[in-house]
Amino acid sequence: MQQDDKEAKFKEFFERARKGVLKYLDQKGGFLNMGELHEYSLKTYLIQHQRFSMMMESFVNEELVSFDPSTQDVLLTDKGKEFIK
């Protein structure tokens, strides 16, 4: 498989995982501790620490979630709810 094909498949998988993680967050009332969200992404999508950090950064940068570093809590925003529809 060519490198471009591998990258395209990974991007497709990662985007599907992002939506899945946000849908899970929504199903849990839109609010979870980051540890619980990480555990879900690991068990369901095999997203480990470094990739999970990338995922969380993308969520925050795109304003799909708000994150409180002092409590490690993640809150799904209205923009995040629109994203998963």
What does the alpha-carbon distance between residue 19 and residue 5 come to, in Å, rounded to a whole number? 21
Q: What is the pLDDT of residue 10?
A: 87
Region label for 53, one of left (φ > 0), alpha (ψ between -120 and 50) or beta (otherwise)? alpha
Structure tokens at 13: 């998988």
Decide if pLDDT at 1 tops 80.
no
* Cβ atoms of 56 and 67 closer than 8 Å: yes
**Degrees (nearest 5) of the Cα angle 8, 10, 15?**
95
pLDDT category, 4, cuts 50, 70, 90?
confident
* pLDDT tens digits along 34-61: 999 999 999 999 999 999 999 999 999 9
Query: pTM of this prediction?
Result: 0.90
Q: What is the pLDDT of residue 2?
A: 81
